[in-house]
Amino acid sequence: MKQQSDDAAAINDQPAWLQSYIESPEKQKALYKKTLLIVVLSQIFGGAGLAAGITVGALLARDMLGTDTVAGLPTALFTLGSAGAALVVGRLSQRYGRRAGLASGFLTGGIGAIGVIFAAVTNNIYLLFASLLIYGAGSATNLQARYAGTDLANEKQRATAISIAMVSTTFGAVAGPNLVEAMGEFALSVGVPALSGPFILAAAAYIIAGLVLLFFLRPDPFVVARAIALAERNASKAKDYIEETYSTDRRGIGVAALIMVLSQLVMVAIMTMTPVHMGHHGHGLSAVGMVIGFHIGAMYLPSLLTGVLVDKIGRKTMAIASGVTLLISGVVASIAPGESMLWITLALILLGLGWNFGLISGTALLVDATNPVNRAKMQGSIDVMVALSGATGGMLSGMVVANSSFAFLSLAGGILSLILIPFVIWANRK
């Protein structure tokens, strides 16, 4: 009763500008389109910032520590940092809106990238580790930005809205790894180590992404969506309507979380050790950058098609496709000759594609299973689990390869992804 009275009071106290959105479907549609445009702009820069740590983080740690055993530690650290940031960004978004949460996350990630640069210059491993944790905020925000487009989307638009946000990341994420060599030369020209060059790009990209959201994501789509939901709840006297609209599907949330967690775990583990594996077989930075660029392109570029497929043929069908694609990727990576750019690239493309299927289908399931009143908070909590799974994959990958081989890691990851299938089938049962 208290919650209902609080909601009613909140509705009555809405400012005039917000009330105008509640009453006008046309304004809601216009804001939905504007939100997608702003998210696209921010994600282009956010993708470039994300790519730096993926491409050279492991190589930077290996050079500073002199061993491959902890080469997966940078990925583990910035994904661990992204776990904490996902929780904070989700809570900020729930309380103050997407603008506050996403802008804060990207700006924090930019500060972390600056810290990595100083760590490389001073050869301070402790500063490197601390900065990578902070840098992880950008990764968490880059993922959470996909939710902003769904705030004002209907059920048949949700996966497509997610895919538009993700595909825009491609432009920066693919360009970032392919600028590794150029940024390395730029870094040397200004007197800093070559491997810190991509983090110069990351700092600028994350800060620009944060400023784009801070200044242009107005009105805030989540604030408007929440106000609309509360108004509909207050206006409806039908108990079944309220229960359907504001119920929480715990089974759906659990399956959505499992899909995203396993996809992230397998993808990060194999991806993290690929640059090190290539280095052992004589491939240079430009070759590593190209392979990672193709991988990141496969993570994001197919999103428009994936979003349509998720909306048309179903979330759970595409989740099963994710498990199968990740398995094939693991098998290809395990048998690929280390000297063959073609086979390594193919394995990483399939790895990115399987992750793409899993993330979009899992995200759509999560949005379906929550309601506007608790959605942002729940999204942040699930993204914490996703980030922790990535941290686990990154941390364990170096140890697994050091004690066995890259082939064993890849095959084990592919087999692990098959766990998705029985859980998805179970969730589909009434």
**Residues with Cβ within 8 Å of residue 374, at least 6 apart in sequence:** 94, 248
**Residues with Cβ within 8 Å of residue 238, at least 6 apart in sequence:** none
* Local confidence band at 20 (pLDDT 50, 70, 90 cut-offs): confident
Tell me how crowded residue 6 is: count the other CB atoms within 10 A of its CB: 11
* Local confidence band at 210 (pLDDT 50, 70, 90 cut-offs): very high
Average pLDDT, the chain: 84
* pLDDT (0 to 100) of residue 242: 47
Domain 2-427 falls in which CATH fold? Growth Hormone; Chain: A; (1.20.1250)
User: Does 1 score more than 50 pLDDT?
Assistant: no
> What is the 8-class DSSP label of residue 238?
-
Compute the C-alpha angle 207/213/218, nearest 5°.
Answer: 155
* pLDDT (0 to 100) of residue 2: 46
The arithmetic mean of pLDDT across residues 156-185, rounded, is 78
* pLDDT (0 to 100) of residue 13: 61
- Domain positions in the chain: 2-427
Instruction: Pick the more confident residue, 107 or 79.
Output: 107
The arithmetic mean of pLDDT across residues 422-426, rounded, is 82
Q: What is the distance of C-alpha 207 from the center of its chain?
A: 17
Residue 395: which of 46, 7, 83, 50 has the closest Cα? Answer: 83
**pTM attached to this predicted model:** 0.75
Element (H, E) at 292: helix 285-300
pLDDT digits (tens, 9 = 90+) for 328-369: 999 999 998 888 889 999 999 999 999 999 999 999 999 888
